Amino acid sequence: MLSIKNLTVNVNDKQILKGINLEIKPGEIHAIMGPNGSGKSTLSHILSGKAGYTVTGGSVTYQGKDLLEMPPEIRAREGVFLAFQYPVEIPGVSNIYLLKAALNSIRKHHGQPEVDAMDFLTLVKDKVRLLEMDEKFLYRAVNEGFSGGEKKRNEILQMAILEPKLCILDETDSGLDIDALKVVAEGVNSLRTANRSFVMVTHYQRLLDYIKPDFVHVLANGQIVKSGGAELALELEEKGYSWLEDSKAAV
Amino acid sequence: MTAATASRYTAEYSSIAPTLPGQNLPWLTALRQDALTKFSAQGFPSLREEEWRYTNVSAIEKKLFSSSLIGQAQEPVATELLAAYQLPDAWSVVLLDGHFCAELSALNDLPETVSVMSMADALAKQPEIVERYINQAVTNDEHNFVAFNTAWFTDGLFVHVPAKLVLEKPIQVVHLNTKNDALASTRTVIVAEQMADIKVIETFVGLDIAYLSAAVTEVFVGVNADVTLYKMQCESNKAYHFGGIYVKQAKHARFIHHNFAFGGLLARCDIHTDLDLASECELNGLYLGVNRQHIDNHTRINHLKPHGISRELYKGVLDDRARGVFQGRVIVAEDAQKTDSQMNNRNLLLSNDAEADTKPQLEIYADDVKCAHGVTVGQLDEKSIFYLQSRCIDEETARNMLTFAFANEMVDKIKIKSVHDQALEQVLIRFPQEGVNKEWL
């Protein structure tokens, strides 16, 4: 699904990622954890194609194609979905309009006709129920005046409708209370399939109580310093990050 | 100098005066005479006046726009234009080149206690009520466009709604301009008595010709009454437009204004409102400028008494060599404690040659108030563009979509569906549609 090899990335001539290697197979859930400033967000931004980063070395291959060559919208149409840490408010565009525009862009990309209006409405309403959202949300402007939890739920709603192959969740748990976290996690879990992969970028172990990862990687100073199974997250919760940062410094 | 050019208008006045409505009313004749004297002395406002420093009206002075007389034949093309703008679900008064046109208007089934009629009719049938209100929300001293309007107005709209009456349908006045080089000077008075609730739409349209449309509207919102006023300014792109809206809000009165400035080569609109104890006003504005359009909006919110609330948001999208001006003043009198006021002006420039001039002003004489203002002039937000791209939308479509969205936020505030759809149509006509699929809206 995704293969990152020796990736190095600069921001304003400062090296942020210093040789990342990561293999993600279909259906796997990988959690990327690490302290503030470790490069977690940079990694998710690079994968989704945000401007402002310079790739200085290495490669990212997505389904056999060079991901870094694709503009952000092509990545999205090919099935890469970034759930934002801070979803953007867009007054003047309704949620349902954006969903329709996005879904039809994907269909056009794959040579399919526009989605039928009635089918679309049925699909959207099903997903809205799944995420315990109010239907009225669909007709409100994108994220405008939404609470933190509503915004995150809205990201998962988009994900549920666009059916991506690779989902990148950037600090999805930040700003969520426990009830909202559960709803979001249930939403994500319901989207798990044998072919869909997830990358969860998170600072805390909390989210991983609800979405169980197959692999946990610790990112520190721009490198993956330790990888393991779900149990690694628990160890981190107990010990913090400093022992890993220190061990790396000793290498 | 300006007086000299104004004399072209004043020289013509004596021939026009006998045709104006309300000839038999001494108080009106005196009012018009006073206005004429003021106008003759100084002509149209000049750039030297602070409130007019961005508005160059010399083109109006150089030309002579003449009042047209009643009874000219209607062109079919004008009927077509009217059909596009006349709302199906409203009582409507059509002012054709500044004169009431009964055949085109629709005033059936009005509640008996409600007056909706042309100003000329009102001056003939109930002059004593008109006298009570006209020139009370604004005076000839405001500036010479108001004086000019008072002296020259040929007709207009008169609305009087008694206490506690909630009008189920909106009232629309369509200013339809069909004559080249003509002047349409109209005066409107809207009165909502205590606890009444009305919605009025002022629509301005014209054929693709040059004309001068000068419309002054006075609104009186009674105690605890609600007035929502819409202005759909869709004048021809060769036309000159001056509009003045002057509002008096009684205690606990609510006034909402939606100002859509789409047309005109040179268009200016002044909106002033005076707030009494605990009254509330909301001023929304959207101006879209293309080619060489100059669109000017001036608002003044006068908090005279305590506990008033005002909310103002004006947005402009300017392309090509268009220029948009926003001057917004909020005045909080010494007595107006606990005033809560917010004023915002946001401008989106789509071309290097477009210009936005913005001047928010707060004058606060009270010491326990909450007043905020904000202004932006800029381009589209890169974060929003990336967000849309990450949702499968290409960059150009994203930009078009966001430009539309910027304007559409104001359209979405309209609560009457037919008015909403009309405004949406105007926005879509003026801006790149590639980003917006109308069928999905």
Mean pLDDT, chain B, rounded, equals 93
- Residues of chain B with pLDDT > 70: what percent? 96
B48 located within any domain: yes
Mean pLDDT of B257-283: 97
pLDDT grade for A234, boundaries at 50, 70 and 90: confident
Question: Count of H helices and E strands in chain A?
Answer: 8, 12
- The residue segments making up the domain with residue B400 are 383-441
Compute the nearest-CA separation of A153 from chain B (Å).
Answer: 16
> By C-alpha distance, which of B361, B362, B372, B364 is closest to B336?
B364
Q: How far apart are CA B201 and CA A28, in angstroms?
A: 59
Q: Is B16 on the interface with A (CB under 8 A)?
A: no
Pair of tokens at residue A216: 């946990």
Interface of B with A in 380-399 (CB under 8 A): 381-384, 386-395, 397
Confidence band for A177, pLDDT divided at 50, 70 and 90: confident
pLDDT of residue A184: 86
B412 to A48: CB separation less than 8 angstroms, yes or no = no
Q: Is residue A106 within 8 angstroms of chain B, CB to CB?
A: yes
Residue in A49, A76, A91 closest to B391 by CB: A76
Considering CB atoms only, which of A81, A88, A92 is closest to B387? A88
Residue of A nearest to B435 (CA): A101
Å between B349 CA and nearest CA of chain A: 17
Token pair of B379, please? 């381009």
CA distance A120 to chain B (A): 11
Q: Is the pLDDT assigned to residue A249 strictly greater than 50?
A: no
Q: Which residue in chain B has the smallest CA separation from A139?
A: B441
d(CA B214, CA A202): 62
Binned at pLDDT 50, 70 and 90, residue B412 comes out as very high
Residue A169 has φ and ψ, to the nearest 5°, of -105, 110
Q: Taking CB atoms and an 8 Å limit, are A76 and B389 in contact across chains?
A: yes
Strands (E), B240-388: 240-249, 254-261, 266-275, 280-289, 294-303, 309-318, 323-332, 340-349, 355-364, 370-378
Residue B375 lies in a domain: no
Report CB contact under 8 Å: B405, A90.
yes
- A79 — contact with chain B (CB < 8 Å)? no
8 Å CB contact of A88 and B437: no
- Minimal-distance CA residue of chain A relative to B409: A92
Residue B389 to residue A72, Cβ atoms within 8 A: yes
Domain span at residue A103?
A: 2-250
Residue B401 contacts A, CB cutoff 8 Å: yes
The residue in chain A having the minimum alpha-carbon distance to the alpha carbon of residue B397 is A101
> To which residue do tokens 């995704």 refer?
A2
Please check whether residues B102 and B226 belong to one and the same domain: yes
Chain A touched by B25 (CB under 8 Å): no
Interchain CB contact of B417 with A (< 8 Å): no
Average pLDDT value for chain A: 90
What percent of chain A shows pLDDT beyond 70? 97
The answer to whether residue B330 is domain-embedded is no
Q: In chain A, which residues have their Cβ closer than 8 Å to the Cβ of B392? A: 73, 76-77, 101-103, 105-106, 109, 162
**Cβ–Cβ contacts within 10 Å for residue A154, how many?**
24
Whether residue A92 and residue B440 make contact (CB cut-off 8 A), yes or no, is no
Instruction: Name the residue of chain B whose CA is nearest to A144's CA.
Output: B409
Residue A149 has pLDDT above 90, yes or no: no
pLDDT digits (tens, 9 = 90+) for B137-183: 999 999 999 999 999 999 999 999 999 999 999 999 999 999 999 99
The pLDDT > 90 percentage for chain A reads 67
pLDDT interval class at B3 (50, 70, 90): low
Greater confidence (A13 vs B433) lies with A13
The residue of chain A nearest to residue B380, with distances taken between CA atoms, is A90
Domain annotation covers residue B313: no
At B181-237, the pLDDT tens digits run 999 999 999 999 999 999 999 999 999 999 999 999 999 999 999 999 999 999 999
- Interface residue A115 vs chain B (CB under 8 A): no
**Residue finishing a domain among B276, B303, B319:** B276
Query: Which positions in chain B touch A101 (Cβ < 8 Å)?
Result: 391-393, 397, 401, 437, 440
Average pLDDT over residues B28-44: 94
B406–A84 C-beta distance less than 8 A: no
For residue B390, give the nearest of A76, A90, A103 by CB distance: A76
CA–CA dist A62, A80 (Å, integer): 9
Give residue for tokens 């009102």.
Answer: B122
Count of structural domains within chain B:
2
d(C-alpha B228, C-alpha A108), whole Å: 44
Q: Are residues B252 and B391 in the same domain?
A: no
Q: Find residues 420-439 of chain B whose CB sits inside 8 Å of chain A.
A: 437
pLDDT at B432 over 80: no
- Distance of alpha carbon A28 from the chain centroid: 13
What is the number of domains present in chain A?
1
CATH number of the domain encompassing residue A194: 3.40.50.300
- The answer to whether residue B326 sits within a structural domain is no
Spatial CB neighbours of A207, under 8 Å, sequence gap ≥ 6: A172, A173, A181, A185, A200
Q: Same domain, yes or no, for B6 and B154?
A: yes
**Residue B73 pLDDT grade (very low, low, confident, very high; cuts 50, 70, 90):** low
Instruction: Render pLDDT for B230-258 as a digit per residue (tens, 0 to 9).
Output: 999 999 999 999 999 999 999 999 999 99
Give the per-residue pLDDT at A200: 93
Q: Does A137 touch chain B (CB under 8 A)?
A: no
The per-residue pLDDT for B32 is 97
* pLDDT at position A250: 40
Residue B288, classed as helix, strand or coil, is strand
The predicted structure's pLDDT at residue A251: 40
Residues B190 and B69 in one domain: yes
Q: Name the band, by pLDDT with cuts 50, 70 and 90, for residue B70.
A: low
Using DSSP, state whether B150 is helix, strand or coil.
helix
Q: How confident is the model at residue A96 (pLDDT cuts 50, 70, 90)?
A: very high
Q: Say if residue A180's pLDDT is above 90.
A: no
Q: Name chain B contacts of A48, Cβ cutoff 8 Å.
A: 390
> End of a domain among B230, B250, B276?
B276
Residues of A in contact with B407 (CB under 8 A): 92
Interchain contact A52–B (C-beta under 8 A): no
Of the residues B276, B310, B327, the one at which a domain ends: B276
**Res. B421: pLDDT tops 50:** yes
Question: What is the structure's pLDDT at A169?
Answer: 94
Mean pLDDT to the nearest integer, A75-95 = 94
Average pLDDT over residues A83-92: 92
In the predicted model, what is the mean pLDDT of residues B334-362? 96
Mean pLDDT in residue range A58-71: 95
Residue count of chain A, please give it: 251
Q: Are B19 and B155 in contact (CB under 8 A)?
A: no
Question: Looking at CA atoms only, how far is residue A146 from chain B in angstroms?
Answer: 16
Q: Does a structural domain hold residue B367?
A: no
The CA distances from residue A109 to A47, A74, B394, B436, in Å, are 20, 8, 11, 18
Residue A22 bridge partners (DSSP): A4
pLDDT given for residue A246 in this prediction: 62
CA–CA separation, A186 and A180 (whole Å)? 10
Q: Are strands B115-118 and B155-161 parallel, antiparallel or unpaired?
A: antiparallel
Q: Which residues in A lie closer than 8 A to residue B406 (C-beta atoms)?
A: 91-92
Q: Are residues B125 and B6 in the same domain?
A: yes
Given a cut of 90, is residue B260 above it in pLDDT? yes
If pLDDT is split at 50, 70 and 90, which confidence band does A244 have? confident
Categorize the per-residue pLDDT at B96 as very low, low, confident or very high, splitting at 50, 70 and 90: very high
Q: Determine the straight-line distance between the first and last CA of chain A, rounded to whole angstroms.
A: 31
With respect to residue B347, please indicate whether it lies within any of the assigned structural domains: no
ipTM above 0.85, yes or no: yes
B49 lies in some domain: yes
User: Within a 13 Å sphere around the CA of B360, how many CA atoms are in the beta-carbon half?
Assistant: 18
